[in-house]
Structure 1
Amino acid sequence: MKKLIYTIVVFLILHCTLYIENCICQWVQCEYIGGNVYSFAVSGNNPEDSGQVIFAGTNKGVYLSTNSGQNWWWTALNNQSVMSLLAISGNNPEDTGQVIFAGTYWNGVYLSTNNGITWTQTALNNRCVYSLVISENNHEDTGQVIFAGTANNGVYLTTDNGTTWTQTTLNNRTVLCLAISGNNTEDSGQVIFAGTYYGLYLSTNNGTTWTQIAFKNRTVKCLAISRNNPEDSGQVIFAGTDANGVYLSTNNGQN
């Protein structure tokens, strides 16, 4: 009897494991848009009758889908390699469409206020922009606070939707990725992390000063911050490295 029960339990475990694996591996290819896809941005303004609004940055420009990726349309920015995208839902002109920033390969940052129908190059030009993030501390009188991670020139900051850009003190690094922490210091500024070829940097004052906090001899290519943070320790951060896998920190990247 015990042997029978043991056999049944093992069978059920194996069956459930195979079922879960099959569920996880169910990927469906969307409509092919051609080229290399470097980045995505999801709009907060979604038409309920059609699906999610998604922007895709490629080596052939920006593509747009209004039905959760089933179909894609080429936007007007069709002659640039787009390395990073940032869609902003808060400052959308209702009569035109989504506000979206596109970081390009050595042509700076472009801005569209009408879902990619037209694009305007911002003041940050002649730069390779690998990453774009928006601050949770916005200037209501001027515009969104946006950080741009660039090649060889560090991090730039704009407080007026890209009209002007200011280079921060991390000005001699290639910044591959940026992440904004939800734990902001009100008396100093935004907490921001920057992944570089020389490890992970941290600023707690909107980029005025930076401190190297981890991975001094490693490349940090991507960052993600969890919103489920232990209050007694700090921010939960994931760091993807070059040939060294993924690292996790539960105390704002200190270790």
Structure 2
Amino acid sequence: MPHTPPSIAVSYDQPHQQAWAEAVAAQLGLPIARKFNDPHPMHLAVAEVPVGQAERLELRVVEAGHPLAGGHGVFADLPQLDTTSPAGRSLKTPLLKAVGINKRSGATRPRVLDATAGLGEDTWLLAAAGCTVTAVERHPIVHALLADALQRARLTEPDITDRITLADRTDATDALREAAETSRFDVVLIDPMFPGSPRRKTTERKPMRVLRWLVGEDADADGLLESAMKAASRRVVVKRPKHAPHLAGVEPVAVHSGKGLRFEVIPTS
């Protein structure tokens, strides 16, 4: 069955946020939510936050009775990811091992294209480990959330943020084609949206369930791997759920597993 995304409006919590909300709405071609009885089941909201925090964009399910409605909105708070504890700094994390960072590589870090960046968690972890990362996100709402997250992160972690370039919103396939022509990246990371599984329904985090409703699955996921193979000078890393089949049926040469997911390594040289 074809994916039907929810209709979305832009809302704001406080009167002083109206100008920002209107600018976001104009940029994305979305309406401003009505104050009462708005018909849109999902809002991109300029959120009220506690004193001392930077105001942010967040995604909210507001349809009455919807199982994802209420609670916290979906947003990225990248500096809250653990990059400073012994575990957070470890080079043994599955992501860092998959992109080729280890003690033998010393201070040299790969140039990475995160072609399906989403809310930027992997992008941030790679940059925190010293990689220069270009993040690509094609969905306009998710791109707006990621841009907002990086802008807020710069206030407290400018050194990490400086190693990240958020590309103008473009399709991953187009970004990979350009990368293949310029040979700028050692590693390409792809993390296509995968179909939901009934056995994961109760354990999957709410943000992922909201994003799945918004984005659907990536129907061109197999094609992304072929494009990524042409764009990476060293390797492609494919992030997959633990029980998902190999992307495009391609067997990796190495697999680094984490909780509920795995990173597959496919060399290109």
Q: Higher relative contact order by CA 8 Å / sep ≥ 6: 1 or 2?
A: 2
Larger C-alpha radius of gyration, 1 or 2?
A: 1
* Range into which the TM-score falls when normalised by the shorter chain: under 0.3
Instruction: Give the structure-1-normalised TM-score.
Output: 0.26
User: Which structure dedicates a bigger proportion of its chain to strand?
Assistant: 1
